[in-house]
Amino acid sequence: MEYTDEEINSLPYELAKLYDNRSYCLYYISLLTTKHDIIFSFFQNSDYNAKIIKIDVFFISFAIYYAVNGLFFDDNTMHKIYESKGCFNFEYQLPKIIYSSLISIVLNMILKFLALSNKDIINLKDNKSKNEADERKKSLVKKLKVKFIFYFILSIIFLLSLWYFIAMFGAIYKNTQIHLLKDTLISFGLSLIYPFFINLLPGFFRVPALSNPKKNIKCLYLFSKLLQLF
């Protein structure tokens, strides 16, 4: 029944002042373990998600990045590759890489909503009455079964559709496969790099807000929780 990192990070201000005594570094690490895809999928073992499902989501997310990047290869892109004699034009491809990354992030959020059970179990832990918790546990088990069924159905449809699209793309545009692979690796790589930088920001506001329990600096704390969402 101890608090997990995600629970501590989402505590109300009054409770955070009592229970969150972590340093800036420990808080930063806790954000990475919940937000960085590789760390979250393979090395985070203290949450309430099924590890095999987390790993499954990770590999499906790469397939999504691959297919979405392929959707941005239109006639203009093909013509640009022809003009550059097959050379990879990073400046021209960068806007497409950014757009595809944003779309992929949204699709992955939908998959994670269906696949992950952490928030549902945390809500169950909030029940102080044992009888009420037992009743909600039965309801939660049914809810999670439905979520997981929808997740596996959706993920199978995704994989079959993405496999078909990528196979057709590779068969028709044989000389463009290396460009698609480079775009995919760049956009997927960006999704793995940006958490190291964006998660530096919340701690600059959260730690000072909690460092002096006699002062009420709730606004700083709420702002740090807002930054946690990104």
From first to last of its 230 residues, what are the pLDDT tens digits of the chain?
A: 677 888 889 888 988 888 888 899 999 999 999 889 999 999 988 888 889 999 999 999 999 999 888 888 877 777 777 777 767 777 778 888 888 888 988 888 888 888 888 888 888 777 666 677 777 888 888 889 998 898 888 888 888 988 888 888 888 887 788 888 888 899 899 889 999 999 999 999 999 888 876 677 889 899 999 998 88
Task: Please tell me the predicted confidence (pLDDT) of residue 74.
Answer: 75
In this structure, the chain runs to a length of 230
Task: Please tell me the predicted confidence (pLDDT) of residue 28.
Answer: 95
Q: Which residue has the tokens 């499902």?
A: 53
Other Cβ atoms within 10 Å of 162 Cβ, number: 18
Q: Is the dihedral of CA 84, 88, 94, 95 positive or negative?
A: positive
Q: Is the dihedral of CA 60, 5, 129, 134 positive or negative?
A: positive
Other Cβ atoms within 10 Å of 194 Cβ, number: 14
Cβ burial of 148 (10 Å; 0-12, 13-18, 19+) is middle
Q: Which two tokens stand for residue 136?
A: 């909600």
**Contact (CB, 8 A) for 78 and 173:** yes
State pTM to two decimals. Answer: 0.83
Q: Which two tokens stand for residue 121?
A: 């179990």
Task: Please tell me the predicted confidence (pLDDT) of residue 124.
Answer: 79
Q: How far is CA 205 from the centre of its chain?
A: 23
Task: Please tell me the predicted confidence (pLDDT) of residue 1.
Answer: 61
Ordered by start, the domain boundaries in the chain are 1-35+200-230, 48-199
